């Protein structure tokens, strides 16, 4: 299980703009793997290509060149309709601005991916309650998103990303809209999911503190892999290590 | 400077403003179009069948006015939501509050004035186009109708200028009360209303009671008269709005609570969207239901008037054809018809009187129309009263016995021995001996019934023309109506086509208003839905499923007001039961017309909505 590859990104390029116009190379041959059960962070300064990378991996955008395999499937050659199905089965999303549907209760939001896959109603409830317990939000299930705190919303979004047991969770600045306390507790919840439930996570962030919860961090600079660091010691040591790399960027 | 800025930003959001302008323009155009008829008293009175038709138009104006006020206030508050973020920006950059208030006032008023100008022009075009189309269809000359009617222009301008002034003040006042921060973040705020159980219960109860009263008033309109119309208009409008405010959100909530239904596929989202929307749409849906009721009602009334003509014409005559002194042309025309009963009666006529041969009458007694109660529909019966005496006279005479009631009806109505046919003459029924003594040429009259009256209009016209000529020789003056079934039919039709014209004109006006209300509301709120659809797309919902969800959601939104409106129409047709014999005849025609218009409109709305909310694919 541990050595199985969930994400395999091979030499991907992404070019914006037509050939005749001013072209912008957002990604310049990025290559890396994510193994099952890994918690990987992607960092880099603004404009480095983090979001583009996340978009192509999450199948929302297509790379100009190169291949991406997720759970053994090459997603770069799939059609729109297949991609939609692939996303709903294999990927779980957590966005910075939560992206919960405010016209549904927290319970309904979490249940939605299962409903969409045609899971019968009687099987939905146990799954939703179980995943809500993992994230400590079982008491707010009947509430609407507007009535709960930002931290709770993000946990709900994490629960929704997790409920259908995807191959990998893709998180885009999940702590970006949270206060430090909520951010800390969300990261702890994600580590808990990763360590105790073998959930693979890829997280894009520019917050060093949040990143320090990861096992491995890929730094991207000008559309290419710049550096890769692994966590060996404590979290605070790793935090310092991250800050050092970021300081390199500044120079 | 601010004014310049605001104009340039209005130009930038031209698409949003176009929606707003379109909505206002249609409202003004329809209001004007309605008023060209409503205020043209001479036209209405000359062409309406009901004496109180002017009053009906006043009620119509009132209802349209009430709906318009709702609509305009909504439309201008939509404008406020378009502008508030930018106004907040100006304020953070140091613009003074009273400047912003002024700006908001002038912007609202300016938009109002532009739409007033365009609306009047469009309204004039619509009134002219639609009037001409219907006049041509109904073969109705519509004399006196003017698409360009000054008094209507004045009313429309005054009404809307006052309305725009009010809404401009309200908009200015609203913006002056808000803090800079709440303006800046206005778009992120979500309003969420929860329906409380007890409140819902009383709301629904109250709605049912009000609509019940309204229905009662419409059914008993003959007793309540104008008060009934006002009562029905007020109670049904309030009741309809209450149904949409209290009952429907509750209904959707109950639907959502059904787990198996809610947790199937994208249902939870569709229903959630519907529920969410329902709370913001209650008033609009109520308005649409009222407009459907009015538009469809007007068309249904028009069509039933049309089909009522033959029934009305036959209310007084049991026989379809009556030919005095038939010519060759008459008998030929009669031979072309499928005659179900034919009787011939002989009479003699001189300067003083008309003398019928009793034996003919008693041998083959004619059919007559007779009603037991004063307000009941007359039924066809055969005269069976005996005539034992030798001589009878129609009416009072000291020397001769009066003709019994049924025979009087038979001779004056069916045989038409009347002033209209023969001028002032006494009418007698003589036994054979007395009849022989009369020194005058003998004539005959043919009475006949046919299988379908409206099938033989050309033949009947020939006969009628000859009968008119005959009447002219006796009366020595121009005669236009001799009171037979056919001439009644023609006269009723001439009057009814005016009413039908008005019915269709109003029907189209109201249906168009409805279209604009729903379209405006859906378009103006669609942008806010975009992020939900894009989020769903991100988590992997197939596009086809999103499209299905849109179709279903909008279908239900269209369905509810249509159902409520339809029930209103079906009950409301009772209002006409005192002038229309069978108000429900061929009700399927206006209903199908409505369903087609509504269906097309639903489809167009779905397409436009789809274009706005569905994310662009890579």
pLDDT attached to residue A2 = 47
Q: Hey, are the CB atoms on A112 and B265 less than 8 Å from each other? A: no
For residue B606, the distance in angstroms to the closest alpha carbon of chain A comes to: 20
Strands A91-94 and A168-172: parallel
pLDDT attached to residue B385 = 83
- Which B-chain residues 528-557 have CB contacts (< 8 A) with chain A? 531-532, 535-545
Cβ-based contacts of A85 with chain B (< 8 Å): 540, 542
* Cα B122 to Cα B132: distance, rounded to the nearest angstrom: 15
Residue A6 in any domain: the answer is no
Residue A30 in any domain: the answer is no
Is residue B50's pLDDT more than 70? no
Number of domains into which chain A is organized? 1
Determine contact: A231 vs chain B, CB below 8 A: no
pLDDT attached to residue A1 = 43
Q: Hey, are the CB atoms on B268 and A99 less than 8 Å from each other? A: no
The verdict on B513 and B465 lying in the same domain is: no
Q: State which of B481, B503, B533 marks the end of a domain.
A: B481
B347-B349-B352-B354 Cα dihedral, nearest 10 degrees: 20
Q: Is the ipTM beyond the 0.90 threshold?
A: no
pLDDT attached to residue B118 = 94
Number of domains into which chain B is organized? 3
Q: Hey, are the CB atoms on B272 and A103 less than 8 Å from each other? A: yes
Residue A238 in any domain: the answer is yes
Residue B231 in any domain: the answer is no
Map residue A194 onto helix, strand or coil.
helix
Cβ-based contacts of B260 with chain A (< 8 Å): 121
Q: Hey, are the CB atoms on B192 and A80 less than 8 Å from each other? A: no
Confirm if B483 and B420 have CB atoms less than 8 A apart. Answer: yes
Is residue B421's pLDDT more than 80? yes
- Cβ pairs bridging A and B (under 8 Å): 87
Cα dihedral sign for A47, A53, A59, A62?
A: positive
Determine contact: B409 vs chain A, CB below 8 A: no
Is residue B455's pLDDT more than 70? yes
pLDDT attached to residue A156 = 92
Residue B194 in any domain: the answer is no
The verdict on B477 and B496 lying in the same domain is: no
The verdict on B267 and B389 lying in the same domain is: no
pLDDT digits (tens, 9 = 90+) for B154-210: 989 999 999 999 988 888 888 888 777 777 666 554 545 555 566 778 888 888 899
Cβ-based contacts of B618 with chain A (< 8 Å): 60-62
Nearest residue in chain B measured CA to CA from A113: B539
Residue B575 in any domain: the answer is yes
Q: State which of B143, B167, B182 marks the end of a domain.
A: B182
Is residue B499's pLDDT more than 80? no
Residue B220 in any domain: the answer is no
pLDDT attached to residue B347 = 92
* Cα B281 to Cα B296: distance, rounded to the nearest angstrom: 22
Burial (CB count within 10 angstroms: exposed 0-12, middle 13-18, buried 19+), residue B445: buried
Cβ-based contacts of A144 with chain B (< 8 Å): 192
The verdict on B154 and B129 lying in the same domain is: yes
pLDDT digits (tens, 9 = 90+) for A156-175: 998 998 888 888 999 998 88
* Cα B334 to Cα A146: distance, rounded to the nearest angstrom: 81
Confirm if B533 and B614 have CB atoms less than 8 A apart. Answer: yes
B468-B471-B476-B478 Cα dihedral, nearest 10 degrees: -30
Q: Which of A120, A85, A161 is nearest to B264 (CA)?
A: A120
CB count in 10 Å sphere of residue A32:
18
The verdict on B292 and B325 lying in the same domain is: no
The verdict on B264 and B304 lying in the same domain is: yes
Q: Hey, are the CB atoms on B535 and A99 less than 8 Å from each other? A: yes
Task: Indicate the residue of B259, B262, B272 with minimum beta-carbon distance to A101.
Answer: B272
Residue B187 in any domain: the answer is no
The verdict on B504 and B474 lying in the same domain is: no
Is residue A234's pLDDT more than 60? yes
Phi, psi of B428 (to 5 degrees): -125, 155
Range of the domain at B2: 1-182
Count of alpha carbons within 13 angstroms of residue B231, beta-carbon side: 19
Strands B353-357 and B426-430: parallel
Q: What is the mean pLDDT of residues A201-229?
A: 90
Range of the domain at A52: 38-61+85-250
For residue A211, the distance in angstroms to the closest alpha carbon of chain B comes to: 24
Cβ-based contacts of A118 with chain B (< 8 Å): 264-265
pLDDT attached to residue B188 = 53
CATH of residue A100's domain is: 3.40.50.300
For residue A91, the distance in angstroms to the closest alpha carbon of chain B comes to: 8
Phi, psi of B449 (to 5 degrees): -110, 150
Nearest residue in chain A measured CA to CA from B546: A116
Nearest residue in chain B measured CA to CA from A146: B190
Cβ-based contacts of B263 with chain A (< 8 Å): 111, 114-115, 121, 124
Residue B24 in any domain: the answer is yes
For residue B253, the distance in angstroms to the closest alpha carbon of chain A comes to: 11
Q: State which of B418, B451, B481 marks the end of a domain.
A: B481
The verdict on B474 and B503 lying in the same domain is: no
Nearest residue in chain B measured CA to CA from A128: B263
The verdict on B442 and B565 lying in the same domain is: no
- Which B-chain residues 427-446 have CB contacts (< 8 A) with chain A? none
Q: Hey, are the CB atoms on A115 and B263 less than 8 Å from each other? A: yes
Q: Hey, are the CB atoms on A88 and B618 less than 8 Å from each other? A: no
Confirm if B481 and B487 have CB atoms less than 8 A apart. Answer: yes
Residue A28 in any domain: the answer is no
pLDDT attached to residue A226 = 87
pLDDT attached to residue A222 = 87
Residue B86 in any domain: the answer is yes
For residue B21, the distance in angstroms to the closest alpha carbon of chain A comes to: 30
DSSP B418: S
Cβ-based contacts of A113 with chain B (< 8 Å): 539-540
Nearest residue in chain A measured CA to CA from B279: A103
Cβ-based contacts of A114 with chain B (< 8 Å): 263
pLDDT digits (tens, 9 = 90+) for B287-312: 888 888 888 888 887 777 777 777 77
Residue A233 in any domain: the answer is yes
The verdict on B5 and B151 lying in the same domain is: yes
Residue A98 in any domain: the answer is yes
The verdict on B7 and B105 lying in the same domain is: yes
Is residue B4's pLDDT more than 60? yes
Strands B379-382 and B367-370: antiparallel
Buried b (16+ CB within 10 A) or exposed e, B53-68: beebbebbbebbeebb
**Average model confidence (pLDDT) across chain B:** 82
Residue A2 in any domain: the answer is no
| Cα three-residue angle A127-A132-A134, rounded to 5 degrees | 100
The verdict on B285 and B381 lying in the same domain is: no
Q: Hey, are the CB atoms on B542 and A81 less than 8 Å from each other? A: yes
For residue A104, the distance in angstroms to the closest alpha carbon of chain B comes to: 6
Angle between helices B14-38 and B150-177 (to 10 degrees): 140
Residue B196 in any domain: the answer is no
Determine contact: A79 vs chain B, CB below 8 A: no
Share of chain B above pLDDT 70, in %: 92
Residue A182 in any domain: the answer is yes
Composition of chain A by helix, strand, coil, percent to 5? 40, 25, 35
């Amino acid at each position: 299980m541990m050595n199985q590859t969930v994400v395999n990104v091979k030499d991907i390029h992404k070019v914006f703009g037509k050939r005749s116009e001013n072209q912008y190379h957002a990604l310049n041959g990025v290559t890396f793997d994510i193994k099952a059960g890994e918690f990987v962070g992607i960092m880099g300064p603004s404009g480095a290509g983090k979001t583009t990378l996340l978009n192509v991996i999450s199948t929302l955008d297509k790379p100009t060149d190169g291949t991406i395999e997720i759970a053994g499937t090459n997603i770069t050659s799939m059609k729109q309709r297949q991609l939609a199905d692939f996303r709903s089965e294999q990927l779980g999303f957590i966005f910075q601005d939560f992206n919960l549907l405010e016209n549904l209760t927290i319970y309904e939001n979490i249940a939605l991916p299962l409903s969409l896959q045609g899971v019968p109603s009687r099987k939905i409830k146990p799954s939703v309650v179980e995943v809500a317990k993992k994230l400590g939000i079982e008491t707010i299930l009947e509430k609407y998103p507007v009535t709960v705190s930002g931290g709770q919303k993000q946990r709900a979004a994490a629960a929704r990303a997790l409920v259908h047991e995807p191959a990998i969770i893709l998180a885009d600045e999940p702590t970006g809209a949270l206060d430090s306390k909520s951010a800390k507790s969300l990261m702890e919840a994600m580590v808990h999911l990763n360590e105790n439930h073998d959930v693979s996570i890829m997280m894009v962030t520019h917050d060093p503190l949040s990143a320090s919860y990861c096992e491995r961090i890929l730094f991207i600079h000008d559309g290419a892999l710049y550096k890769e660091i692994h966590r060996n010691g404590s979290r605070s040591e790793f935090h310092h290590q991250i800050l050092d790399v970021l300081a390199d960027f500044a120079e | 400077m601010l004014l310049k800025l605001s104009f340039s930003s209005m130009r930038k959001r031209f698409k949003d403003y176009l929606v707003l302008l379109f909505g206002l323009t249609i409202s003004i155009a329809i209001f004007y179009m309605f008023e060209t008829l409503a205020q043209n008293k001479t036209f209405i009175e000359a062409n309406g069948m009901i004496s109180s038709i002017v009053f009906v138009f006043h009620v119509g104006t009132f209802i349209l006015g009430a709906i318009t006020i709702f609509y305009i206030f909504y439309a201008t508050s939509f404008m406020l939501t378009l502008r508030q973020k930018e106004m907040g920006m100006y304020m953070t950059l140091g613009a003074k509050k009273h400047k912003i208030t002024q700006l908001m006032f002038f912007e609202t008023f300016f938009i109002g004035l532009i739409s007033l100008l365009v609306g009047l022009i469009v309204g004039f075009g619509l009134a002219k186009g639609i009037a001409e189309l219907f006049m041509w269809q109904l073969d109705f000359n519509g004399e006196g109708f003017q698409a360009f009617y000054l008094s209507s222009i004045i009313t429309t301008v005054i009404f809307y200028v006052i309305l725009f002034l009010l809404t401009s003040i309200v908009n200015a006042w609203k913006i002056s009360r808000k803090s800079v921060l709440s303006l800046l973040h206005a778009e992120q705020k979500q309003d969420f209303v929860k329906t409380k159980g007890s409140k819902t219960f009383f709301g629904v109860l109250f709605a049912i009671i009000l609509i019940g009263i309204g229905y009662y008033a419409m059914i008993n309109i003959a007793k309540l008269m104008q008060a009934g119309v006002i009562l029905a208009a007020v109670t049904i409008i309030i009741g309809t709005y209450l149904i949409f405010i209290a009952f429907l959100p509750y209904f959707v909530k109950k639907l959502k609570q059904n787990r198996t239904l809610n947790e199937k596929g994208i249902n939870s989202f569709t229903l959630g969207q519907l529920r969410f929307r329902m709370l913001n749409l209650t008033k609009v849906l109520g308005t649409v239901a009222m407009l459907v009721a009015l538009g469809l009602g007007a068309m249904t009334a028009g069509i039933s008037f049309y089909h009522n003509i033959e029934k009305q014409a036959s209310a007084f005559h049991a026989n379809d054809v009556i030919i005095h002194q038939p010519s060759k042309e008459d008998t030929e025309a009669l031979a072309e018809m499928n005659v179900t009963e034919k009787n011939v009666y002989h009479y003699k006529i001189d300067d003083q009187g008309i003398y019928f041969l009793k034996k003919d009458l008693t041998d083959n007694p004619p059919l007559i129309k007779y009603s037991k109660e004063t307000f009941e529909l007359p039924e066809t019966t055969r005269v069976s009263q005996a005539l034992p005496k030798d001589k009878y006279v129609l009416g009072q005479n000291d020397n001769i016995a009066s003709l019994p009631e049924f025979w009087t009806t038979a001779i004056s109505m069916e045989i038409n021995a009347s002033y209209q046919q023969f001028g002032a003459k006494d009418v007698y029924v003589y036994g054979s001996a007395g009849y022989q003594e009369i020194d005058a040429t003998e004539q005959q009259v043919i009475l006949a019934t046919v299988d379908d009256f409206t099938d033989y209009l050309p033949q009947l016209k020939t006969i009628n023309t000859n009968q008119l000529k005959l009447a002219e020789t006796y009366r020595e003056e121009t005669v236009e109506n001799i009171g037979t079934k056919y001439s009644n039919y023609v006269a009723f039709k001439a009057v009814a086509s005016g009413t039908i014209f008005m019915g269709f004109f109003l029907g189209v006006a109201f249906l168009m208003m409805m279209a604009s209300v729903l379209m405006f509301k859906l378009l103006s709120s669609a942008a806010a839905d975009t992020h939900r659809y894009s989020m769903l797309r991100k988590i992997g919902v197939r596009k086809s499923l999103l499209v299905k969800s849109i179709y279903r959601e909008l279908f239900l939104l269209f369905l509810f007001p249509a159902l409520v409106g339809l029930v209103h129409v079906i009950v409301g047709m009772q209002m006409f039961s005192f002038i229309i014999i069978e108000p429900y005849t061929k009700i399927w025609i206006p209903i199908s017309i409505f369903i087609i218009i509504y269906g097309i409109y639903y489809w167009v709305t779905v397409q436009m909505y789809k274009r706005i909310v569905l994310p662009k694919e890579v």
